[in-house]
Structure 1
Amino acid sequence: MKKFLWTSGLILVLVLGIFFWWKFYFVFGEGVKAGSLNYFVKKGVIFKTWEGRMVQEGFQSPTSGALQSNEFRFSVVDPEVAAVLERNSGKHLELRYQEFNGILPWRGTSEFVVTEVINIQESAGSDGSTLPVDR
């Protein structure tokens, strides 16, 4: 009986560990999003995290006849990436991100975590052109 309890306990801990890793540390998807950085702030009560919003070009309509702005909400863990984003509010950015299955309080309030700023450009002018900006 004692051996059965030890084996069952070990299997339970192993299954819970695998589930925790899959839920919070497994990178579900990776990608790139582009748009204008609208909001970027460091906030939190216990864990101070960087949170941001980027408005993407175009409109997305979840139902016919309705228009909705296409907004990308994200978190940032790396202080160097956060410093670049703080200096470039309102500019057109291309961001590389990772998507997780769940959120952790010390990683931010979004399942999308930005890992790199790929490109920065001034916002589009009246003729639609953009100018590259030095980081």
Structure 2
Amino acid sequence: MSEFKQVVKAGTGKVFSWIKRFFLVLSLLGLVIGGGYLWVCNWTYSSGTRAGTLIKISRKGVVFKTYEGQLNLGGFRENADDGISGNIWEFSVWEEEVYRELQNYEGRQVKLHYREKYKSMPWQGDSNYFIEKVEPVK
């Protein structure tokens, strides 16, 4: 093999080695950043209760089926776009057992215990509020 071919072959090997290393580091960095993002988004921002009339509870979604609901908190809310509208609070439910319990209370006064996350992922639900427990209001 000529000297020129040996130099080209050695240089090509170094370039491919550098490219492999670059993409390996980039992939590991992406995994760490993605995992950190999911971890932070799952932190509980706040928790509490809300009471009102349960308007709707349903299972919806095209790819990810989630449980979604609406609670009428009473009163009215002023919107810049619509003027005055009802004070509706939207929430998501993780557990099927809680979803089934909510179905029994549709149209009735309930007290919902919730946790608010920083951000919900598409497979978790549409809102950042997740219901943990339901109590009927007497």
Q: Aligned partners of 1:7, 1:38: CA distance in 2, in Å?
A: 50
The residue that corresponds to 1:22 in the other structure is 40
Shift of 1:88: 1.0
Unaligned residue ranges in structure 2 (runs of 5+): 1-17
Aligned match for 1:71, one of 80, 88, 98: 88
1:59-112 alpha-carbon deviations (Å, 9 max, x no partner): 23356xx53311110110111111110011100010011111222222111111
Q: Aligned partners of 2:62, 2:47: CA distance in 1, in Å?
A: 29
Q: What percent of counterpart residues are identical?
A: 28
- State the AA in 1 paired with 2:36: I
Q: Aligned partners of 1:52, 1:78: CA distance in 2, in Å?
A: 13
Shift of 1:27: 1.2
The residue that corresponds to 2:124 in the other structure is 107
CA root-mean-square deviation? 2.4
1:120 pairs with 2:130: no
Aligned residues: 117
Shift of 1:17: 2.3
TM-score under structure 1 length normalisation: 0.72
> Aligned to 1:95, what secondary structure does the other structure show?
strand
- State the AA in 1 paired with 2:70: R
Query: Closer, same or farther in 2 for the Cα pair 1:26/1:60, shift >3 Å?
Result: same
Query: Closer, same or farther in 2 for the Cα pair 1:58/1:17, shift >3 Å?
Result: same
Query: Closer, same or farther in 2 for the Cα pair 1:57/1:45, shift >3 Å?
Result: same
- State the AA in 1 paired with 2:121: L
TM-score under structure 2 length normalisation: 0.71
- State the AA in 2 paired with 1:83: R
Unaligned residue ranges in structure 1 (runs of 5+): 122-131
